[in-house]
């Protein structure tokens, strides 16, 4: 009986656990089909794009690729995914090639357990992805961690990089931010981590408090972010980002220093009611980034693409053009 129970557990783990998905070296498996089979919860009316897959060295990464022209690569943060940009892409893809990718461990990408989820590893996977598509003259649109990851990619690939649009991001350690420290402890420490994985509260816990007006976050939208983490085996990505926010390894500072030497234009679209990264976050970011234009948007919190998509479209199109 114990042997039978062990076999059942192995089967369930293989079906729903962190290693489910494509096996390296098996060319018979279609990455796009595998990703498509894992998103029965997806609202395809609101997210009608063809789903594609990139087989990174660490696992499958989901992305969409819409339109023609100069490429825009959209990078999300935590605990979101490319769904965040669904309102921007239909309009911007009329003039540009819009590519939105889910970091490994997020959204429709695979969520393997024994993988490096630090920002530097996400940058390396992004670099492999952009090289795979052979993108050049790239505009990065980044929110939250997507901003700092995009900045590191740009500083490592100045020959492929054109300009940057940042939405409520940061590029310094938040170890001394008391609010962030308390929040990240929920996801990363001891018994708290056990309950965090078991209850899977990440999007429904974090998202509402970061919106200036919760009417901009209806339940069905929140569910699209929540259901991307189907079970307790799929929270490794947000946990990795939470640890990185508190790290004192110098990664953020090195990114800021290297990016400041990349003399190409940037645009900051900043939700004025956001205090996530500190009261002086906007001023700090402006001081670190040369050649930066700023648009401060009143009545908007952290999730700028979700809260004011029309404003984003207007300013992104004008900035790139």
* 3-state DSSP of 210-262: HCCCHHHCCHHHHHHHHCCCCCCCCCHHHHHHHHHHHCCCCHHHHHHHHHCCC
- The DSSP letter of residue 82 is G
Report H helices in 1-92. 2-16, 31-36, 89-92
What count of residues does the chain have? 321
User: What pTM did the predictor assign?
Assistant: 0.86
Q: Which residues contact 3 (CB under 8 A, 6 or more apart)?
A: none
Q: Which residues contact 167 (CB under 8 A, 6 or more apart)?
A: 141, 142, 143, 144, 147, 268, 269, 270, 271, 304, 305, 312
* CATH top-level class of 31-320: alpha beta
Contact 170, 177 (CB under 8 A): no
CB atoms within 10 A of CB 126: 26
73 CB-side CA count, 13 A: 30
Q: Which residues contact 182 (CB under 8 A, 6 or more apart)?
A: none
Contact 206, 239 (CB under 8 A): no
Two tokens, residue 232: 């307790």
The H helix count followed by the E strand count for the chain is: 14, 8
Contact 162, 291 (CB under 8 A): no
Contact 107, 75 (CB under 8 A): no
pLDDT per residue rounded down to tens, the chain (321 residues): 444 334 333 333 333 333 333 344 443 346 666 566 667 889 999 999 999 999 999 999 999 999 999 999 999 999 999 999 999 999 999 999 999 999 999 999 999 989 999 999 999 999 999 999 999 999 999 999 999 999 999 999 999 999 999 999 999 888 777 666 666 665 555 555 554 555 555 676 678 878 888 888 999 999 999 888 877 678 888 888 888 888 888 999 999 999 988 989 999 999 999 988 877 899 999 988 878 899 999 999 999 999 999 999 999 999 998
Beta bridge partners of 63: 52, 101
Let me know the angle formed at the C-alpha of 262 by 257 and 265, rounded to the nearest 5 degrees: 120
- The DSSP letter of residue 107 is T
Two tokens, residue 19: 């290693």
């Amino acid at each position: 009986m114990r042997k039978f129970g062990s076999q059942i557990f192995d089967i369930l783990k293989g079906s729903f656990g962190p290693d489910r998905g494509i096996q390296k070296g098996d060319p018979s498996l279609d990455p796009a089909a595998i990703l498509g089979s894992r998103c029965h919860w997806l609202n395809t009316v609101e997210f009608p794009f063809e789903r594609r897959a990139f087989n990174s060295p660490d696992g499958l990464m989901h992305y969409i690729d819409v339109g023609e022209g100069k490429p825009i690569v959209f990078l999300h943060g935590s605990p979101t995914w490319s769904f965040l940009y669904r309102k921007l892409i239909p309009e911007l893809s009329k003039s540009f090639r819009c590519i939105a990718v889910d970091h490994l461990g997020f959204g429709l990408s695979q969520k393997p357990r024994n993988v490096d989820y630090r920002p530097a590893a996400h940058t390396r996977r992004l670099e492999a992805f952009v090289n795979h598509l052979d993108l050049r003259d790239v505009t990065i649109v980044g929110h939250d961690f997507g901003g700092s990851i995009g900045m590191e990619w740009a500083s490592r690939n100045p020959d492929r990089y054109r300009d940057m649009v940042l939405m409520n991001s940061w590029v310094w350690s938040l170890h001394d931010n008391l609010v962030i420290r308390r929040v990240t402890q929920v996801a990363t420490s001891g018994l708290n981590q056990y309950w965090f994985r078991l209850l899977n509260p990440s999007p429904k816990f974090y998202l509402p408090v970061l919106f200036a007006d919760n009417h901009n976050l209806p339940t069905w939208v929140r569910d699209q972010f929540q259901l991307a983490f189907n079970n307790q085996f799929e929270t490794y990505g947000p946990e990795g980002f939470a640890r990185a926010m508190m790290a004192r390894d110098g990664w953020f500072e090195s990114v800021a220093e290297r990016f400041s030497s990349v003399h190409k234009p940037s645009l900051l679209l900043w939700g004025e009611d956001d205090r996530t990264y500190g009261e002086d976050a906007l001023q700090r970011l402006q001081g670190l980034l040369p050649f930066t234009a700023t648009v401060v948007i009143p009545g908007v919190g952290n999730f700028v693409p979700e809260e004011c998509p029309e404003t984003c479209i207007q300013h992104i199109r004008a900035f790139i053009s």
